[in-house]
């Protein structure tokens, strides 16, 4: 340990007084960091996938086999089977997404149960809730993109829930999904744009703010 | 003098007195970890481990792709796990009445199942957003904020766990069937999962956490456990004795069913009786034994019926138990668990209360004795010395009990009470050892 | 007795005086009680006489600190507000037990407490007035005196509207500082005594109340508690406090507790100042004495003050 008189992390209660505590308490404080690492991985793998993915979901009939297909789904096959290590990159993107959502959710639970949202950290908590929603939306838009059966089912559920909004339901569905049903497949292009531009922009900005607030206010240590 | 020499060696290169943690006269330059290279290396290693795990998963567990999208709805689609809760809420929304208001006007609002589902999904978000503004207390530790913790756990069970489970109700219904083809866990039971387990979890955790703080929880424990036991007994009695209780096909297996109900009800009633009538230590022992024996008994019964009796019997027993899972499985478990948690030995008083201290140092700053004393090995901070288990020594007897420390303590810890207790203990020890009565 | 590595100056408890006081606890027979006036207002002077003796025979000071005068002043003040108190003196009462309790000798304290409580109940006391902050805390918090109102004398006088007549015009303006005793101030979760002594001082028209550097709930302790120690460290603390009074140019330092008076007085009449070292120039006295001096009329002055002495004696005199 080097001695330094820069601003430094003070020893915690347990360390300073050499108390016997449950040491595995502390990994719960790494969850925010884990979700950020996962986000970095997602960004990098997302950029790589973006070179090959085609956001076109319009239905086509395959000439040779007569099956229903679409350009987005075909680009997924290309990524998985043709592009060197494409399947690993897609796999990393998939698993990092699950890890990020799990980490964000557990992080929120930890902050709730240790009361770290209290004064003066209310703003940080609100940012965190918004980030949680953004993360879930990231995940949702993510599994709409491969244009497979799951995308179709999920889009249907999404459209129905949006259309159920009073008065503006149908317009809102057209705004978000491009149409009031999934037939045309235009929702894939919409949610592609949300997934690769809108959410990353807003999300990164809010994440920087969130982490900046933690840096300034300090970590709320439990006792 | 020898003692001077020893003290000198100890204090070599060290400042005397308790290290000051704040302000310009800071003297405790604690070894922290500089960002580069130590902290950077540590973070890099952790990151690499995480990424390596992701690589491993990606290489060996490929995410599913499947056929392209099409207008036909294929087999059951299950969204990713993090959205299951919303889907479950959508499905459970069919219990709400459905109607339309403002028909024919621009503000037409159709209270359909989907709309109710939207509303239900929105409630947690609203609650989360207003949370810091409705909870203005200072207490951070989860064990010291039992309402918040209990409420949070109940909320998680209801809104996340149960709704995710409910979203796959069709899968559950298909997979687990009773011998006559009906679903083992019918829809009705699963709907009750939204209410019973959250309430049980909330109340149990509340009682358990309050108990940690040395609160006698009898006033909560007795009605709760006794009430749960009454429900269990009533339900079992209805199943066995009411003609509508057992279906015709389950009639031949009444004996096995009665044994199962007995194994469930007897520990529950025993625990309720112990909590009501016996002193706490007895109730604690009874609940430990009841829990252990009940669990072992149930597993033994399960194995026994499955292997010794016909397996069909097991199916019929389960067809009685599982639809009543809330009352016959969950409630007994929680009754015994709560009785055990609520009768645990509390922590010793002053150690526990002093544990609240978070070393802000204000008491040390105002203590007048610290201004005239310096102790070689660490200082006269009473809390510090308590944690080092140095009760009987200079700090204890030099304290003026002037309560300047208590006056500034943000946690309102009364050190003078502690001094009184500890000094009395020393004298009691001396007297017990046959020492001179002072 | 604890032998610590710090040497004999830190032995506890204070040997002779406390052995005498503790021995009292053994005898629990209630003697015949003769009080001059029976009244529902009782005044408990406490161990002021003991401290007088202690000061006289102490080798630390030249024995002029006057505790007995607290008793006389309190009686005079109570009569001035129309009360003839029943005096619970030490012919039938025991020590209140505060020091024993805080030294850890709980069984001795309990015996004293039970004895005193019995007598107080027997005499039908409704209001118990003490002039000692430690007694106030002990009777209020550590005794269980149901139906008896325990009150410090300053609170009582304030409530009863004690009036100090205007001082003669030749009197200079005096700066008066007040030491808030810890026992009656921040150690009292209910009914702490902060304002009443100050109000009473303000009623003396030539007195300017000045606050010491730390006051009210932050007031620094006088340096010794429970008569546990008397050594250079405790003297250091007392000196710190008295230096605060010098800093505000006080002419009087008032206390509301005979213990504080003991320690301030001991240092004030310190027998070991080297010639040429500065003594404290202000007067140290109890607030009851201060107020009673400004009321008209006489009262017997304390017994151990040598009125003929004009200057402090040479160092080294044994009291």
Per-residue model confidence (pLDDT) at position B438: 44
pLDDT at B319 over 70: yes
Assess contact for A148 and A80: CB atoms under 8 A.
no
pLDDT at B75 over 70: no
Question: What is the rounded average pLDDT of the residues B106-126?
Answer: 86
Q: Which domain holds residue A33?
A: 26-155+186-217
Out of A94, A102, A116, whose CB is closest to B140?
A116
List phi, psi (to 5°) of A74: -65, -35
pLDDT in tens, C83-120: 888 988 888 888 888 988 888 888 889 999 999 999 99
Of all residues in chain A, what percent carry a pLDDT higher than 90? Answer: 59
B partners (3+ CB pairs within 8 A) are A, C
Relative to beta strand A68-69, strand A60-61 is antiparallel
pLDDT at C10 over 50: no
Residue C104 burial class via C-beta count within 10 angstroms: exposed 0-12, middle 13-18, buried 19 and up: buried
Assess contact for A111 and A128: CB atoms under 8 A.
yes
pLDDT at B382 over 60: no
Per-residue model confidence (pLDDT) at position C228: 73
Assess contact for C218 and C198: CB atoms under 8 A.
no
Domain assignment of residue A167, yes or no: no
Assess contact for C102 and C178: CB atoms under 8 A.
no
> Could you give the CA distance from residue A64 to residue A61 in angstroms, rounded to a whole number?
9
Greater pLDDT, A218 or C6: A218
Out of A4, A19, A164, whose CB is closest to B118?
A164
Domain assignment of residue A147, yes or no: yes
The band of B73, judged by pLDDT with boundaries at 50, 70 and 90, is low
Per-residue model confidence (pLDDT) at position C127: 93
Return the CATH number at A97: 1.20.810.10
Domain assignment of residue A170, yes or no: no
Relative to beta strand C127-130, strand C149-152 is parallel
* Cα–chain center distance at C90: 16
Question: What is the rounded average pLDDT of the residues B367-377?
Answer: 64
Domain assignment of residue A149, yes or no: yes
Greater pLDDT, C48 or C131: C131
Of all residues in chain C, what percent carry a pLDDT higher than 70? Answer: 84
pLDDT at C301 over 60: no
The band of A44, judged by pLDDT with boundaries at 50, 70 and 90, is very high
> Could you give the CA distance from residue B55 to residue B62 in angstroms, rounded to a whole number?
11
pLDDT in tens, B180-224: 777 888 888 889 999 999 999 999 999 988 887 666 788 888 999
The band of B351, judged by pLDDT with boundaries at 50, 70 and 90, is low
**Nearest 10 degrees: Cα torsion B293, B296, B300, B306:** 130
Give me the DSSP letters along chain A.
-----SS-PPPPHHHHTT----GGGGGGGGHHHHHHHHHHHHHHHHHHHHTT-------EE-TTT--EE-HHHHHHHHHHHTSTTHHHHHHHHHHHHHHHHHHHHHHHHHHHHTTTTSTT-HHHHHHHHHHHHHHHHHHHHHHHTT-BHHHHHHHHHHHHHHHTSTTTHHHHHHHHHSSSSSTT-THHHHHHHIIIIIHHHHHHHHHHHHHHHHHHH------
Greater pLDDT, A5 or C284: C284
Handedness of CA A48, A50, A52, A53 (dihedral sign): positive
Q: List the domains of chain C with CATH numbers.
A: 17-26+35-161 (3.40.50), 174-293 (3.40.50)
Binary contact (A8, B65; C-beta < 8 A) = no
Tell me the CB-side half-sphere exposure of residue C180, using CA atoms within 13 A. Answer: 26
> What is the rounded average pLDDT for all residues in chain A?
86
Assess contact for C218 and B366: CB atoms under 8 A.
yes
Greater pLDDT, B360 or A162: A162
Per-residue model confidence (pLDDT) at position B217: 80
Enumerate the residues of chain A whose CB falls inside 8 A of the CB of residue B388.
17
Find the residue in C nearest to B415 (Cα): C187
Residue B243 burial class via C-beta count within 10 angstroms: exposed 0-12, middle 13-18, buried 19 and up: exposed
> Could you give the CA distance from residue A12 to residue B295 in angstroms, rounded to a whole number?
41
- Which H helix or E strand runs over B430? helix B415-432
Domain assignment of residue A129, yes or no: yes
Per-residue model confidence (pLDDT) at position B405: 82
Domain assignment of residue A172, yes or no: no
Cis bond before residue B37 (omega within 30° of 0): yes
Of all residues in chain B, what percent carry a pLDDT higher than 90? Answer: 22
CA distance B25 to chain A (A): 12
Enumerate the residues of chain B whose CB falls inside 8 A of the CB of residue A16.
359
pLDDT in tens, B282-294: 888 999 999 999 9
Binary contact (C240, B368; C-beta < 8 A) = yes
Relative to beta strand C127-130, strand B99-101 is unpaired
C partners (3+ CB pairs within 8 A) are B
Enumerate the residues of chain A whose CB falls inside 8 A of the CB of residue B71.
59, 182-183
pLDDT at A72 over 90: yes
Assess contact for C27 and C111: CB atoms under 8 A.
no
CA distance B403 to chain C (A): 6
> Could you give the CA distance from residue C253 to residue C249 in angstroms, rounded to a whole number?
10
Degrees, nearest 5: CA angle C300-C301-C305? 150
Domain assignment of residue A3, yes or no: no
pLDDT in tens, B132-174: 999 888 777 787 788 999 999 999 999 889 999 898 888 888 8
Q: Quick check: B282 contacting A, CB < 8 Å?
A: no
> What is the rounded average pLDDT for all residues in chain B?
80
Residue C220 burial class via C-beta count within 10 angstroms: exposed 0-12, middle 13-18, buried 19 and up: buried
Of the listed ranges A173-177, A185-189, B375-379, C53-57, the least confidently predicted one is B375-379
How many domains is chain A partitioned into structurally? 1
What residue segments make up the domains of chain B, in order of their start? 79-211, 216-346, 350-432
Greater pLDDT, A62 or B2: A62
Enumerate the residues of chain B whose CB falls inside 8 A of the CB of residue A157.
79, 87, 90
Per-residue model confidence (pLDDT) at position B27: 56
Give me the DSSP letters along A104-153.
HHHHHHHHHHTTTTSTT-HHHHHHHHHHHHHHHHHHHHHHHTT-BHHHHH
Assess contact for B350 and B258: CB atoms under 8 A.
no
Domain assignment of residue A79, yes or no: yes
List phi, psi (to 5°) of C152: -75, 155
Of A208-222, B360-374, C123-137, the range with the highest mean pLDDT is C123-137
pLDDT at B60 over 50: yes
The band of C197, judged by pLDDT with boundaries at 50, 70 and 90, is very high
């Amino acid at each position: 340990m080097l001695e330094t008189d820069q601003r430094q992390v003070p020893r915690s209660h347990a360390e300073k007084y050499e108390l016997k505590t449950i040491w595995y308490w502390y990994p719960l404080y790494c969850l925010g960091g884990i979700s950020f690492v996962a986000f970095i991985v997602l960004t990098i793998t997302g950029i790589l996938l973006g070179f090959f993915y085609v956001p076109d979901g319009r239905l086509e009939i395959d000439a040779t086999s007569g099956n229903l297909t679409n350009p987005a789904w075909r680009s997924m096959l290309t990524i998985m089977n043709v592009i060197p290590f494409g399947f690993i990159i897609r796999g990393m993107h998939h698993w990092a997404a699950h890890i990020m959502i799990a980490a964000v959710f557990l992080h929120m639970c930890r902050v709730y149960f240790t009361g770290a949202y209290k004064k003066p950290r209310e703003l940080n908590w609100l940012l965190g809730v918004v980030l949680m929603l953004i993360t879930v939306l990231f995940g949702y838009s993510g599994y709409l993109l491969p244009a497979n059966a799951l995308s179709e089912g999920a889009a249907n559920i999404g459209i129905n829930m949006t259309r159920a909004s009073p008065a503006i339901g149908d317009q809102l569905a057209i705004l978000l999904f491009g149409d009031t049903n999934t037939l045309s497949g235009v929702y894939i292009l919409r949610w592609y744009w949300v997934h690769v531009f809108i959410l990353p922009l807003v999300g990164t900005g809010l994440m920087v703010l969130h982490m900046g607030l933690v840096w300034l206010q300090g970590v709320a240590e439990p006792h | 003098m020898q003692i001077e020499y020893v003290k000198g060696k100890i204090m070599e290169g060290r400042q005397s007195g308790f290290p000051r943690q704040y302000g310009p006269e800071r003297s405790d330059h604690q070894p922290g970890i500089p960002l580069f290279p130590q902290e950077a290396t540590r973070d890099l290693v952790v990151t690499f481990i995480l990424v390596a795990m992701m690589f491993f998963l990606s290489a060996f567990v490929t995410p599913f792709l499947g056929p392209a999208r099409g207008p036909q709805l294929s087999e059951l689609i299950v969204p990713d796990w993090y959205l299951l809760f919303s889907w479950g809420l959508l499905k459970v929304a069919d219990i709400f009445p459905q109607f339309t208001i403002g028909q024919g006007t621009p503000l037409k609002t159709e209270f359909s199942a989907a709309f109710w589902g939207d509303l239900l999904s929105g409630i947690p978000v609203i609650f989360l957003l207003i949370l810091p503004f409705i909870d203005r207390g200072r207490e951070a530790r989860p064990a010291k904020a039992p309402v918040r913790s209990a409420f949070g756990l109940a909320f998680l069970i209801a809104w996340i766990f149960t709704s995710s489970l409910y979203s796959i109700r069709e899968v559950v219904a298909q997979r687990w069937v009773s011998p006559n083809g009906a679903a083992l866990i019918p829809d009705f039971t699963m709907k009750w999962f939204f209410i019973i387990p959250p309430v049980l979890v909330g109340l149990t955790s509340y009682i358990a956490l309050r108990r940690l703080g040395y609160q006698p929880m009898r006033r909560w424990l007795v009605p709760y456990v006794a009430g749960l036991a009454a429900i269990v007994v009533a339900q079992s009695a209805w199943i066995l004795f009411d003609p509508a209780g057992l279906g015709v096909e389950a009639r031949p297996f009444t004996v096995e069913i009665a044994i199962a109900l007995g194994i469930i009800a007897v520990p529950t009633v025993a625990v309720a009786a112990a909590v009501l009538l016996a002193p706490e230590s007895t109730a604690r022992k009874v609940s430990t034994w009841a829990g252990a024996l009940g669990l072992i008994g149930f597993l033994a019964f399960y194995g026994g019926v499955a292997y010794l009796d016909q397996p069909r019997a097991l199916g019929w027993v389960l067809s009685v138990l599982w639809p009543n899972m809330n009352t016959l499985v969950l409630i007994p478990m929680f009754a015994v668990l709560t009785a055990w948690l609520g009768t645990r030995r509390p922590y010793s008083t002053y150690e526990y209360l002093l544990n609240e201290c978070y070393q802000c140092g204000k008491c040390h700053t105002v203590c007048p004795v610290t201004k005239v004393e310096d102790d070689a090995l660490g200082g006269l901070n009473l809390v510090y010395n308590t944690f080092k288990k140095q009760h009987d020594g200079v700090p204890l007897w030099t304290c003026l009990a002037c309560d300047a420390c208590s006056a500034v303590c943000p946690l309102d810890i009364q050190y003078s009470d502690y001094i009184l207790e500890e000094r009395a203990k020393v004298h009691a020890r001396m007297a017990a050892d046959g020492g001179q009565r002072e | 007795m604890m032998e610590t590595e710090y040497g004999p100056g830190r032995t506890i408890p204070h040997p002779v005086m406390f052995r005498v006081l503790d021995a009292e606890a053994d005898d629990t027979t209630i003697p015949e009680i003769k009080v001059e006036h029976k009244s529902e207002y009782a005044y408990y002077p406490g161990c002021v006489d003991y401290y007088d003796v202690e000061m006289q025979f102490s080798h630390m000071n030249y024995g002029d600190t006057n505790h007995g005068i607290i008793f006389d002043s309190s009686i005079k003040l109570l009569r001035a507000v129309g009360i003839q108190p029943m005096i619970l003196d030490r012919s039938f009462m025991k020590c209140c037990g505060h020091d024993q309790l805080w030294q850890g000798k709980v069984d001795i304290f309990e015996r004293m407490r039970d004895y005193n409580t019995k007598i107080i109940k027997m005499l039908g006391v409704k209001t118990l007035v003490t002039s000692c902050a430690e007694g106030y805390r002990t009777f209020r918090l550590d005794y269980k005196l149901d139906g008896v109102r325990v009150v410090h004398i300053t609170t009582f006088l304030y409530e009863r509207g004690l009036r100090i007549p205007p001082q003669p015009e030749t009197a200079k303006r005096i700066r008066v500082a007040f030491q808030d005793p810890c026992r009656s101030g921040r150690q009292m979760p209910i009914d702490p005594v902060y304002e009443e002594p100050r109000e009473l001082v303000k009623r003396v028209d030539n007195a300017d109340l000045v606050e010491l550097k730390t006051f009210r709930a932050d007031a620094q302790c006088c340096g010794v508690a429970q008569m546990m120690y008397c050594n250079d460290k405790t003297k250091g603390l007392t000196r710190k406090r008295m230096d605060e009074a010098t800093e505000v140019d006080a002419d009087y330092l008032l206390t509301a507790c005979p213990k504080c008076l003991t320690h301030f007085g001991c240092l004030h009449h310190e027998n070991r100042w080297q010639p040429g070292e500065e003594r404290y120039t202000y007067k140290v006295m109890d607030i009851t004495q201060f107020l009673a001096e400004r009321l008209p009329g006489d009262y017997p002055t304390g017994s151990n003050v040598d009125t003929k002495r004009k200057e402090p004696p040479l160092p080294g005199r044994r009291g």
